[in-house]
Amino acid sequence: MTLHIIGIGLDSEKDITVKGLELVQKSELVYLEVYTSKLHCPFINLAKLYGKQITLADRAMVEGDNNEILEHAKTMDVAFLIIGDPFSATTHLDMMMRAKKEGIAVTVTNNASILTAVGITGLQLYKFGKTTSVPYPEENFQPETAYEVIAQNKKNGLHTLVLLDIKQDQQRFMSVNEALTILLAIEEKRGENIFPSSTLCVGCARLGSQDPTIIAGTAQELLAKDFGLPLHCLLVPGNLHFMEEEAMGMWR
């Protein structure tokens, strides 16, 4: 029948749109993708407000070959819920394309995303360059992509949004402090003066909630700050317009 791909926003069960809620309520099955982001409320709150049982979908269920979500959507209305916006930062394009190839009708309901929520800092959204992410380093996996993207964006005077790793199976969510430690270690190793400890940064936590934490300061200063509960992300400003400078003053 139809696969409804629905963004449910950044904070709690209450961030779903009226349109999204109506689609959830008419769906026979409801799945929530839980491995690329996190709400600031327990999952049970969603089930209570929506009046629906919700199946948590991990990476294997969403990206695996035998996709039960798509199988069910062939015969009934299925809601596939994405935290934030379905096509921002996380790409669930594959899901939509697979559905369309199999002749399943698809609807998309957009919502707020971390990509736009960072506008609260005063850094102008149209002056952001490429977005990047910092993964947890592993024995044979210590990528330096974030450092390189920051370098490229800085060269062009652009801001960088750095998204931080999530290990959903271990309930580990990278903090601003962990990300800074990783970036400073790359600087120490490469010595290219891209991310010295004096780099101005803005650490953000729980954007979209009623108690966000936003602190601007040097990387060294932010290392010692407590950003509280997840989720966190890091901004590295490029060239600042005087209005942006003034906004930075608000968060120092």
Ligand X SMILES: C[S@@+](CC[C@H](N)C(=O)[O-])C[C@H]1O[C@@H](n2cnc3c(N)ncnc32)[C@H](O)[C@@H]1O
- The residue ranges that bind ligand X (CB under 6 A) are 10, 36-37, 82-85, 88-90, 113-114, 163-164, 166, 204-208, 231-233
Minimum distance between the CB of residue 74 and ligand X, rounded to whole angstroms? 25
Residues 6+ apart with CB under 8 A from 96: 3, 5, 106, 108
Q: Which is nearer to ligand X, 21 or 162 (CB)?
A: 162
Minimum distance between the CB of residue 134 and ligand X, rounded to whole angstroms? 9
Which residue has the closest beta carbon to ligand X?
84
Structure tokens at 108: 């998309």
Q: Which is nearer to ligand X, 66 or 170 (CB)?
A: 170
Distance (Å, whole) CA 161 – CA 235: 5
Distances (CA, A) of 83 to 15, 87, 115, 172: 10, 10, 12, 17
Minimum distance between the CB of residue 241 and ligand X, rounded to whole angstroms? 23
Q: Which is nearer to ligand X, 67 or 111 (CB)?
A: 111
Minimum distance between the CB of residue 193 and ligand X, rounded to whole angstroms? 26
Is the CB of residue 83 less than 8 Å from the CB of residue 206?
A: no
Q: Which is nearer to ligand X, 83 or 201 (CB)?
A: 83
Distance (Å, whole) CA 58 – CA 78: 16
